[in-house]
Structure 1
Amino acid sequence: MVHSSGIGVYLKQLIPFLLSSFQVTVLGKPEELNGLAWAPSVQVIPMEADIYSIKEQVELVSKIPSCDIFWSPQYNVPLLPIRAKKRLVTIHDTYHLAYRHTLPLAHKLYATAVMKAAVRLADQVITVSHFSKTEIAKYTNCPLEKISVIYNGVDNVRFKADFPEKASKQLREALPQLPEKYLLYVGNVKPHKNLITLLKAYASLNPALQAEYHLVIVGQKQGFITPDQEVFQFLEQHPSLALKVDFTGFVADALLPFLYKCASLSVFPSVYEGFGLPPLESMACGCPVVASSSASIPEVCGGAALYFRALDAEELRIQLENVLTDERLRADLVKKGLKQSKEFTWEKSAAQHLSVLKELLPKG
């Protein structure tokens, strides 16, 4: 899952910190590690199965070697016995349980059974917010003392406000279709990401502002188990609006900081998140953030974002217009955002992960 959206970032950032204390073996496709600086320092056991598949379960049991700790970075844990003395699992959120009514029956049954098994089989559970800790306990009956909350971090080397002037030029050359002024959404097109509310708010934006600012959507558009069809239906019904909404699709990691930096504001409208990295990355790049007040988002963004109720498109429209027309408000959000983003570092996160891992090691 090293290239799987937020979980991929989690893995890419944390694995290097483990190498000084552990001999690390990873399961995956060796070619997917090409270009990662730490790849030569880990052993790789090839895995060909798709995640969340029966074939994956068979491969996990046969390929996991004898080890002190087996760490699953997502809830798709091996369900059968494995050759590990201890098990650790990270569960980022319980969306598949909280919103199980939105899933096809097979996926609903899989998510319910496997997530409950994940907490039962694990010696310790890591999650990424106190909100998610409460949700895990609620939906799986996991004892609270078994769950460690460790926040994600922001890569403050990549995401920063002081890019050289040529950075903007490099971005325009790499993405020539990028509009001059834009509102930015970073995330996948899934129902719980609530992109439909953002589109409705943008559609009702003051006409002069809508003429001045495009809406740029960065992230995977297709290929999901539960895609957000309502988004595409809405755009089909509003063809003039669709001309102002730009889907970039996948964007190279190197370009993302520049996209934040050049945006007039960043919007995070999710109804359900275990953590949510895009708002913090935006803040670190000096981009003001408008975010929903749902789930873990206020826990992560603190007082550095301008909030709206997740399903209230009119309230979101008002907040967008407030940021776009009030320079003092923008400056205040940027200042608070830079400070808030510095509270979350991968170094701090890694130290806490290492502490949990070392506690699991056999004593003596």
Structure 2
Amino acid sequence: MDEAIFMKQKICIVLAYSPTNLLSNQGILRLLLSLVKTEKFRNRIVIATACWSHRQLKEVLLEAKISLTDIEIILSSRVQPLTITLFSIIYKFYNRLKRKNINKKGRFQQALTKISSHLPKFAAKNFIFLIISTPISAIICTIKATILIYKQIKLVATKKLKLNNSGTQQVYPSEKKTKKDKILKKLKNVKNKLQITKSIKLHIKTIYNHIKTSEFEKLIKKINRRKNIDICYVPAAFLLDVHSIKKPVVLAVPDIVFLENPTLFIEETYENSYSHHTIKKNLASKASLLCYSDYVKTSHLIDPYKINKDKINVIKHGNTSLSQHLKNNPIEILQQFQKEKLNHDTYLSNYHLPSMKFLFYSSQVRPHKNILNLIKSYALLLRRRFINVKLILTGNLERNKELSDYVLKNRLQYDVISFYDIPDEVLAALNQCAICAVNPSLFEGGFPFTFSEAYSMGTPSVMSRIPVVLEEIEDKKLQELMLFDPYNIEDIADKIEWAIHNREELYQLQKPLYEKFMERSWEKVAGEYLNYFDETAAREKASHVH
């Protein structure tokens, strides 16, 4: 590694993702890779990340054809803490207990709950407690599950005993009350089931957060000690608290989506509350802010938080093409993916992919991505309008109960297909083979990447009529043909159906829009980023002089 090269690097990108995040699925990272690959960023980048993300980061960089010799990586620790490995196992164990239930808590169970609630606090302060808290948490959870099983067996045994009693018994008022109580008890059991699931998840996420905080504190200390770093770029406001970074900071705020759709985030999970709290703290810091659209600048930053407009810069996305990832025949790429990754699926492993006609939506499963409405509109097309196509998604539907239950209930499990965690080559192949790309999102911080990705592969798109889209599409005719109301199932289905029957016409109508985006090369966008970084660093330096 050439030390002379690394002394020239002055921009530190801070990637503070948790141990449970897959870097390959982060849309923010794809944007960063497009910047890092440009000549303007060459030999100017340091990436700081937690130790648990190191292997994934190297894989993502290599897949993007970025040489590891051109980039220095700063890790929070040399070796991943044993606790991360242990907690990953425990986290999976807890998830298996989602459907478990506990009845009314006795004193013993209350004591267990009290101990488990204090574990994260002690674990954060002392490494020994951090190690000990993992098996203790597992033991507590096992004991609770055992109590639950015992009570359920006892309940079943009692019920069978009553049924086996010979003769017809007279039902007294007290017994009628007992039967009513049983019904109420069953309802309470359902409530308890939800409560214990939330409690377990909350406890694990709390401990994970304390581990994250400890590792990120180490990471920030390393960044602060580096003399060759002029500025830090944090690509998302929810990742970590930037107050302790002693370098000038540019903080990206792609959006604050819960302001746009608060009801989608009404469930108060630790993850949500932590993210919201971190965003608010960071917005109050001295960091310079960056977003991707004028709408977010005004509606998410200036209006609700009264942030000075001079503190915010808007840099729109560059054009995203997937053509460079498609080196072979797309059908052959998909067949290879089928052979290697879908061999466990009895349906997909034998499906004749060359004959598959499908719609495509590339996105993670998140509340504002509006996947349920897309599936509902697809079901309408399939079952009522008899349009025989599949729907391929890249989100993991199995992790979302509402989506997976809807698919199974409506017998769509062979029609709505999830290709999760796919490489860029497969993403390019899917975009080229799709009849149409669909983006039903309720909100995005910048114009959706899905449009350019699909168009670069010869596929038209239909998408939601949302503010960032209307900022870019001025042609009223094109708006009418390709945009739909994301809350209206019929409208989504109408636009998709028209696109299926008029694919080539829509593709030609969208050509001027794509050519407009092509004018924003990533080299040009990289120059805008560098100018903003340099201005921020110079302004910070001048403030210290005065």
When normalised by structure 2's length, the TM-score is: 0.59
**2:452 aligned residue:** 280
Root mean square deviation, CA, Å: 3.0
**1:186 aligned residue:** 362
State the one-letter code of the partner of 1:196: L
Deviation at 1:32, TM superposition (A): 2.2
Determine if contact 1:57/1:79 at 8 Å carries over to the other structure: no
Residues 234/324 of structure 1: CA separation in 2 closer, same or farther (3 Å cut): same
Determine if contact 1:182/1:214 at 8 Å carries over to the other structure: yes
Deviation at 1:337, TM superposition (A): 5.1
Q: How does 1:296-311 map to 2 (within 5 A)?
A: 296-300=468-472, 303=475, 306-311=482-487
Q: How does 1:1-364 map to 2 (within 5 A)?
A: 1=15, 2-17=23-38, 19-20=41-42, 22=44, 24-28=46-50, 29-35=53-59, 36=61, 37-47=66-76, 53-64=209-220, 65-66=223-224, 67-75=229-237, 76-84=239-247, 86-101=248-263, 102-105=265-268, 106-134=270-298, 135-156=300-321, 158-159=322-323, 166-175=329-338, 177=348, 178=353, 180-205=356-381, 210-221=386-397, 227=400, 229-239=401-411, 241-275=412-446, 276-300=448-472, 303=475, 306-327=482-503, 329-336=505-512, 338-362=514-538
**Take 2:44 and 2:236, find their aligned partners in 1: how far apart are those partners?**
20
1:53-87 residue CA offsets vs partner (Å, 9 max, x unmatched): 34333333332223421221111233542332x11
Residues 160/11 of structure 1: CA separation in 2 closer, same or farther (3 Å cut): closer
SS at match of 1:11: helix
Structure 1, gaps ≥5 residues long:
none
Deviation at 1:319, TM superposition (A): 0.9
Determine if contact 1:188/1:221 at 8 Å carries over to the other structure: no
Residues 91/210 of structure 1: CA separation in 2 closer, same or farther (3 Å cut): farther
By percentage of residues, which structure has more strand?
1
Structure 2, gaps ≥5 residues long:
1-14, 16-22, 85-204, 340-347
Determine if contact 2:25/2:421 at 8 Å carries over to the other structure: no
**Take 1:297 and 1:169, find their aligned partners in 2: how far apart are those partners?**
34
Decide which structure has the larger Cα Rg and report it. 2
Q: Could you tell me the percent identity over the aligned residues?
A: 21
When normalised by structure 1's length, the TM-score is: 0.86
Deviation at 1:204, TM superposition (A): 1.3
State the one-letter code of the partner of 1:27: T
Deviation at 1:187, TM superposition (A): 0.6
Deviation at 1:160, TM superposition (A): 7.0
Q: Which is worse superposed, 137-146 or 252-261?
A: 137-146
**Take 1:190 and 1:285, find their aligned partners in 2: how far apart are those partners?**
26
SS at match of 1:251: coil
Determine if contact 1:217/1:247 at 8 Å carries over to the other structure: yes
Determine if contact 1:204/1:317 at 8 Å carries over to the other structure: yes
Determine if contact 2:318/2:525 at 8 Å carries over to the other structure: yes
